[in-house]
């Protein structure tokens, strides 16, 4: 439906996890915990024995199979309540499978319960629910103020300036922390460089600015646009690089990743500029042999963005 198959999301997941900026994530987590604590004051001493703090509540926009949860949940303290939103029924169906597999590999229990899943780590319970929703047509159905944090990853480059304005308005109105990770910033560097890289990159950039269901997408300009929109509304924002680096030391998964990036780049270039198809095919053939020789590496530039509620005017 969206063109993002679960196999591709699984392939990129370790590269995403390695690329993310730890400092922005730590500040996001502190803000989420603080907001949850303010919602969740301890009761009187007489009721303290039976008191269990309420779970932190998070919503992940365009969640795919749940990779954002798999990174952030182990970093957040205590019980958690996650809502994973996506419009693709196949990816939503894959969430339970991927989360179950991940929980088991970590030695945790995962069971179906309460209209979703519950992952029990022994120290904490993470309740996970999925919601199928088109974030273009039905975004306003999400009550962002009912969450302690909003996350999204590898999504903002698909959306338009108009949608980012909606997001900024709603984040600021809800005064909720936002962590938006892994948005492409346009840098794609192949090593060794070749003469045709520039044509491949130009075609890729044109393709990225197509309509992905939200109007003309911002592609590499998305983080700068959203940061400007949030700053103008009084949020406290920060960004940091979160680049994929894939080379011969990235193992078999790195090799698969390079092959996929080569093939995808050539396919996109052919689609955008069919007249140059032979050039792109030759480029891909050379790049594929470099992958098998362990001679190709690549960097794909991304940025992470954090937005925290601004101080209320005195």
Ligand X SMILES: C[S@@+](CC[C@H](N)C(=O)[O-])C[C@H]1O[C@@H](n2cnc3c(N)ncnc32)[C@H](O)[C@@H]1O
Residues that bind ligand X (CB under 6 A): 2, 4, 9, 62-64, 67-68, 86-88, 91, 134-136, 153-155, 158, 213
Nearer to ligand X (CB atom), residue 154 or residue 258: 154
Residue 299: which of 188, 195, 196 has the closest Cα? Answer: 188
User: Residue 1 CB, nearest distance to ligand X (Å)?
Assistant: 7
User: Residue 243 CB, nearest distance to ligand X (Å)?
Assistant: 15
CA separation, residue 200 to residues 194, 278, 281 (Å): 10, 12, 11
Nearer to ligand X (CB atom), residue 91 or residue 168: 91
Give me the residues paired with residue 109 across strands. Answer: 120
Nearer to ligand X (CB atom), residue 11 or residue 118: 11
What is the rounded distance in angstroms from the CA atom of residue 144 to the CA atom of residue 142? 6
Read off the DSSP letter of residue 211. B
Nearer to ligand X (CB atom), residue 9 or residue 19: 9
Three-state SS for 115? coil
Nearer to ligand X (CB atom), residue 83 or residue 154: 154
User: Residue 153 CB, nearest distance to ligand X (Å)?
Assistant: 4
What is the rounded distance in angstroms from the CA atom of residue 235 to the CA atom of residue 227? 9
Give me the residues paired with residue 180 across strands. Answer: 152, 305
User: Residue 6 CB, nearest distance to ligand X (Å)?
Assistant: 9
Helix (H) or strand (E) holding 244: strand 244-246
CA 297 to chain centre: 23
Angle between helices 6-19 and 89-105 (to 10 degrees): 50
User: Residue 66 CB, nearest distance to ligand X (Å)?
Assistant: 8
User: Residue 141 CB, nearest distance to ligand X (Å)?
Assistant: 12
Nearer to ligand X (CB atom), residue 86 or residue 196: 86
Give me the residues paired with residue 211 across strands. Answer: 216
């Amino acid at each position: 439906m969206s063109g993002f198959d679960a196999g591709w999301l699984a392939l990129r997941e370790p590269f995403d996890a390695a690329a993310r900026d730890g400092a922005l994530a730590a500040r996001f987590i502190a803000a989420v915990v603080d907001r949850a604590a303010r919602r969740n004051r301890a009761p009187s001493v007489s009721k303290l024995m039976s008191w269990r703090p309420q779970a932190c509540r998070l919503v992940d926009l365009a969640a795919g199979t749940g990779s954002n949860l798999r990174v952030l949940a182990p970093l957040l303290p205590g019980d958690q309540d996650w809502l994973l939103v996506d419009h693709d029924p196949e990816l939503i169906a894959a969430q339970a499978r991927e989360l179950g597999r991940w929980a088991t590999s970590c030695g945790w229990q995962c069971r179906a319960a309460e209209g979703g899943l519950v992952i029990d780590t022994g120290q904490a319970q993470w309740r996970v629910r999925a919601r199928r929703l088109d974030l273009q047509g039905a975004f306003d159905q999400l009550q962002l103020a009912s969450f302690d944090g909003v996350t999204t990853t590898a999504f903002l480059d698909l959306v338009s300036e108009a949608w980012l304005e909606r997001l900024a308005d709603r984040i600021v109105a809800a005064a909720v922390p936002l962590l938006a990770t892994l948005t492409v910033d346009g840098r794609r560097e192949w090593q060794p460089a070749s003469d045709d890289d520039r044509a491949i990159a130009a075609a890729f950039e044109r393709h990225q600015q197509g309509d992905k269901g939200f109007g003309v997408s911002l592609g590499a300009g998305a983080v700068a646009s959203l940061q400007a929109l949030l700053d103008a509304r009084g949020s406290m924002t920060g960004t940091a690089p979160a680049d994929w680096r894939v080379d011969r030391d990235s193992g078999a998964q790195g090799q698969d990743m390079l092959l996929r990036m080569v093939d995808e780049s050539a396919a996109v270039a052919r689609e955008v500029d069919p007249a140059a198809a032979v050039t792109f095919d030759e480029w891909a053939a050379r790049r594929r042999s470099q992958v098998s020789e362990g001679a190709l590496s690549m960097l794909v530039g991304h940025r992470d963005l954090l937005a925290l509620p601004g101080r209320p005017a005195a």
